[in-house]
Structure 1
């Protein structure tokens, strides 16, 4: 299962009234759960536009792609789902990427661990890493920027 397939599943879930979705493909298992809004977050969502759904990125994928192509100097790679970011494949290994490094389309830049499943996050285009925006081991929300690219 690749990042494109996972994003398609997230979009499918967002467009439906499903509260939970689970998929097993080979030895990979993916579980998506839509969290209910708390009263405080519901009030914030009502006061701001557009409304944010916790189980999906804050902007539609097409809009994010259009923004990235319109201003490649400020492109970002965002978290595909809620989880914990790991910049290394294992504790004693070298990091996937570093600031100033050139990356290629399809290259793994980090993994997001969710429900004991490590989901690879890959670059969508050739670029240079300008900044890592989250600390290793940090919890991130779906749609949260992970890296800034130039």
Structure 2
């Protein structure tokens, strides 16, 4: 193991936390930061599975990891899939007493809001990328989701 010289400072854990929070609140796929002889690189992993997976705050934390190698380019979503843009809590209605944005069998137009994903008090609208009919909704309001997780499918 290599010893660091006295001129190299430790990276501030609070600064690391702020950088992680800034990345999760954005749609960045990668972020790199250097200071005092240290480099920190954050890469948001994309999940290749198309089946919904149960998530928890622990699994969300694992999805934000430090890596030493560049990540592979994320796969393009299939045209019939609606994926979460970020990790957070998904909501299928604009407010608790309002009707759901969409339900299975509903016709939608490109640009229609399908649901929102809340990450750190920021509500990210998930919009239809094309005209079509929603075949399935694979999450429930309030579920924790990960970036790239399958939320819905077009028919």
1:36 deviates by 1.9
Aligned residues: 102
SS in 1 for 2:64: coil
SS in 1 for 2:65: coil
Q: Is residue 94 of structure 1 aligned with residue 93 of structure 2?
A: no
Question: Counterparts of 1:1-150 in structure 2 under 5 Å?
Answer: 10=27, 13-17=28-32, 35-36=64-65, 60=74, 63-64=76-77, 67-68=78-79, 75-150=80-155
1:116 deviates by 1.1
Higher alpha-carbon Rg? 2
Post-superposition Cα deviations, 1:62-112, rounded to whole Å, max 9, x if no partner, equal x22xx32xxxxxx11000000100000000001100110000000000000
Structure 1 length-normalised TM: 0.59
Q: How many angstroms apart in 1 are the aligned matches of 2:152 and 2:97? A: 22
CA RMSD of aligned residues (A): 2.8
More helix by share: 1
Could you tell me which runs of 5 or more consecutive residues in structure 1 were left unpaired when the two chains were aligned: 1-8, 21-32, 43-52, 69-74
Q: How many angstroms apart in 2 are the aligned matches of 1:59 and 1:141? A: 18
1:60 deviates by 2.2
Structure 2 length-normalised TM: 0.57
